[in-house]
A and B are shown apart, each in its own frame.
Chain A
Amino acid sequence: MRWLFEPGLFANGSVRTALVLGALVAVVSAVVGIFTVLRGQSFAGHALTDVATAGGAAASLAVVSPLFGFIGAGVLGAGAMDAIGVQRVKDRDVATGVVLGAATGLSALFLYLITLSTSTTGSTQSILFGSVFSVEPSTLPDAAVLGLLVLAGLTFIRRPLLMSSISPELAGARGIRVRWVGLGFMVMLAVAVGLSAIVIGSILSTALLIGPPASTLKVASRLSRAVALAGVLGVFATWLGVILAYDSYYWFASRRGLPVSFFVVVLVMLEFVIASAYTRWRRVHVATLRRAPREEDGRS
């Protein structure tokens, strides 16, 4: 296993923190992501990372805890999107776009002010791309509590949420308050995304939110299985990505490693390609093998 685990990998404190925090965020993202993909809210899920990033920049200017900035801004952004209107799909598109545009404008200002007030460089980089290797171990308890809160909240509303995601009309007829369930989900999405944006950066936040759930939904049809599989895929990509990024330091003579985000995204994409290929294979072969093909669990 020497080829995979370079010397000193597990003795390295920041690698251990990265593995623990990365797994936590990957699981939360996967669970929230299943609903995000089902509801067709990938754009909002991605936009909220940029909104959260603007909040992070503001927090570092105001000398507030960055975690507070990321999550506060995310929740505000989710509220603004809801206020502009998320009922119809095309309205939702515009609502997300307007909020995202405003947030990036504010980011531009905050980052400019940060570079004015401090001479430190690298803030744009770390805010945009994030790095699990630079996460402080002290973030762990707060992150764990927030992650568990999101998971608990989702468990609580999973039935009305699932129903109103699949058929809003039917859910409404059954007395589910679709609007409130949707708003509740947006808030949880904002918290989850803010959490992952601060821990692993905005690229990976979107990658882990959408990638593993999208792969999973191609193959699994039951909610519990889909959630479990997405969690496994997310954690696998994150851990292998962290390890490869650590190793990559030794690959080049220049002693300059490639970023974690690069490896994790490539792995997530591989998972997606494999899942797609498997679905196509199964559709062709299983359908011809079964003489009387049943409706394939309603999912193709």
Chain B
Amino acid sequence: MFSSFMTNAWISGTIVAILAAAVGFFVVLRGSAFAAHAIPNGAFAGAAGANLVGVNPLVGLVVFALAAAFGIGVTSRRTRSDVATALALVLMLALGAAFLATSNDYEPAVNALLFGEILGVSSNEILPVALLAALCVMGLLVLYRPLLLSSIAPDLSVAKGVNVALLDVAFLVIVALSSALAVPVVGALLTFSLTIGPPAAARLVSSRPHRALALSVVFSLATLWAAIACSYWTNFPIGFFVGTMSALVYVVVRVVVALTSSVRTHGRVDIAVPNLTL
């Protein structure tokens, strides 16, 4: 299981899991799960397009993910954001369908992009993935305080002079970059599972931002490592394990919290507004 051809899988998987947990923490906090689902799916269309033109798929992924992020961010100012997201998503997917219809290689490539091929990650793919991940983490660190504040108390952050619209687009760009690098590893459909399940579970356990964030990384790593191991033993696609285990983590944590909490909070703990000095 730890033989040489698996090394790349473990390294890239770990990078993706940490990043997904960190980004996902804010996705869950801000209620932008739909965008987090739509962006990797749109990015998938970009990979199909890059395939058609003969460019590196990662370029197509990044370009389309960024386009989706800007499209959603800008349109959301005039239209309800869920409607804007839905429309951006179907437009991207339709483009993807058109690209696939005009290109020759079909099924295996599509399956790999949708459901990921973590065991097929090559050594020279790791460096760009690591660089993009570092970029995203730096972005999150820079935006950490304003993001947290505007997610928890939007009115307060406006009062403090945070440009909420700009912050929104900046955050979606981070979501876009992180999903672009996660798509080839765990696939367009499952990048999303890691972004929601573990962070949502972590939020149930702790109401302190730092602790919830750390816990989210722990849950996410546990999920992805277990998924890689199970996929290795059973030969079933990794996407199956990532998807179901992410949901399972949430359900189990929720049941445990509901059973153990002395004060009944209906399984939900609101994150307290921390003492932020901006």
On A, residues with C-beta under 8 Å from B are 37, 40-43, 45-47, 50, 84-85, 89-91, 93-94, 96-109, 111-112, 115, 121-122, 124-125, 128-129, 203-204, 206-207, 209-211, 214, 256-259, 261-262, 264-266, 268-269, 272, 276
Of B100, B239, B248, most A-chain CB atoms within 10 Å: B239
Tell which of B53-61, B186-194, B209-217 binds the partner.
Answer: B186-194
Question: Which residues of B from 138 to 173 have beta carbons under 8 Å from A?
Answer: none
Contact flags B224-244 to A (C-beta < 8 A → 1, else 0): 000000000000110111111
**B256 at the A interface (CB under 8 A):** no
Partner of A98, one of B85, B106, B196, B266: B196
CA distance in complex: A129, B110 (Å):
12
Query: Least Cβ distance of A116 to chain B in Å?
Result: 10
Closest B residue by C-beta to A130: B97
Question: At the interface, yes or no: B26 with Cβ under 8 Å from chain A?
Answer: no
Q: How far is the CA of A90 from the CA of B237 in the complex (A)?
A: 31
Contact across chains for A207 and B196 when beta carbons are under 8 A apart = no
**B: which residues have CB within 8 A of A?**
28, 31-34, 36-37, 78-80, 82-83, 85-87, 89-91, 93-95, 97-98, 100-102, 106-107, 110-111, 114-115, 187, 189-190, 192-193, 195-197, 200, 236-237, 239-248, 250-251, 254, 266-268
Residues of B near A121 (CB, < 8 A) are 106-107
Q: B residues within 8 A CB of A266?
A: 91, 94
Contacts A108-B237, A262-B97 given; does A102 touch B90 at CB 8 Å:
no
By a CB distance below 8 angstroms, the chain B residues around A102 are 193, 243-244, 246-248
A108 to B190, Cβ gap below 8 A? yes
**A259 and B33 within 8 A (CB):** no
Among the interface residues A89, A128, A266, which one has the most CB atoms of the partner chain B within 10 A? A128
Closest chain A residue, CB of each to CB of B268: A91
CB distance from B49 to the nearest CB of A (A): 13
Q: Give every chain B residue within 8 A of A257 (Cβ-Cβ).
A: 101
With contact pairs A97-B37, A104-B190, A105-B244 given, residues A111 and B115 touching in the complex (Cβ less than 8 Å):
yes
Give which listed residue, A90, A104, A204, A207, contacts B31 with CB less than 8 A: A90
- Chain A positions within 8 Å of B251 at CB level: 98
Q: Are A98 and B197 within 8 A (Cβ)?
A: yes
Q: List 30 A-B contacts (CB under 8 A).
A: A37-B80, A42-B82, A42-B86, A46-B86, A85-B268, A93-B28, A98-B246, A100-B192, A102-B244, A104-B189, A105-B240, A105-B245, A108-B187, A109-B236, A109-B237, A109-B239, A112-B236, A122-B107, A129-B93, A210-B86, A214-B80, A256-B101, A257-B101, A258-B98, A258-B101, A262-B95, A262-B97, A265-B91, A268-B90, A276-B79
- Whether B87 pairs with A211 at a CB distance below 8 angstroms is yes
- Dominant SS at the A interface? helix
Tell me which residues across on chain A come within 8 A of B187, comparing CB atoms: 108
In the assembled complex, the CB of B151 is this many whole angstroms from the nearest CB of chain A, namely: 10
The distance in angstroms between the C-alpha atoms of A203 and B91, with both chains bound, is 9
On whether the beta carbons of B106 and A207 are closer than 8 Å, the reply is no
Instruction: Tell me how far the C-beta of B51 lies from the nearest C-beta in chain A, rounded to whole angstroms.
Output: 15
Question: Known interface pairs A101-B190, A256-B102. Does A108 touch B239 (Cβ–Cβ under 8 Å)?
Answer: yes
What 10 pairs between A and B have smallest CB-CB spacing? A105-B243, A101-B193, A108-B239, A102-B247, A265-B94, A97-B196, A109-B240, A43-B34, A42-B82, A97-B33
Residue of B nearest to A208 (CB): B90
Tell whether, in the assembled complex, residue A203 and residue B93 are in contact, meaning their CB atoms are under 8 Å apart.
Answer: yes
- The answer on a CB contact under 8 Å between A214 and B243 is no
A-side contacts of B243, CB under 8 Å:
101-108
A125 touches B83 (CB 8 A): no
Q: How far is the CB of A149 from chain B (nearest CB, A)?
A: 25
Q: A46-B34, A102-B247 are in contact. Are A214 and B107 (CB under 8 A)?
A: no
A185 vs chain B, min Cβ distance (A):
16
Question: Known contacts being A37-B83, A101-B247, is A107 close to B189, with CB within 8 Å?
Answer: yes
> Beyond the given A85-B267, A105-B243, could you list 11 further A-B residue pairs with CB under 8 A, ordered by the A residue number?
A37-B80, A40-B82, A43-B86, A94-B250, A107-B189, A108-B243, A129-B93, A206-B89, A210-B83, A259-B94, A262-B95
B190 with A269: CB separation less than 8 A: no
Indicate the member of A37, A46, A103 with the most B CB atoms within 10 Å: A46
Closest to B248 in A: A102
Most B C-beta atoms less than 10 A away, residue of A45, A94, A268 = A94
CA distance A230 to B194 in the complex (A): 36
B91 and A269 within 8 A (CB): yes
Question: Judging by beta carbons under 8 Å apart, are B237 and A98 in contact?
Answer: no
A262–B94 CB distance below 8 A: yes
Q: Given A42-B85, A93-B31, A256-B102, A105–B91 Cβ distance below 8 Å?
A: no
- Chain A residues with CB under 8 A of B106: 121-122, 125
Taking CB atoms, residues of chain A closer than 8 Å to B33 are: 43, 93-94, 96-97
- Asked if B97 contacts A105 (CB within 8 A), the reply is no
The distance in angstroms between the C-alpha atoms of A272 and B78, with both chains bound, is 12
Q: Of all chain A residues, which has the CB nearest B250?
A: A98
In Å, the complex CA distance between A272 and B193 comes to: 30
In the complex, residue of chain B having the shortest beta-carbon distance to the beta carbon of A37: B83
Contact between chains at A261 and B97 (CB < 8 Å): yes
User: Nearest B residue to A272 by beta-carbon distance?
Assistant: B87
Residue pair A101, B196 in contact (C-beta under 8 Å): yes
CB closest residue in chain B, given A90: B31
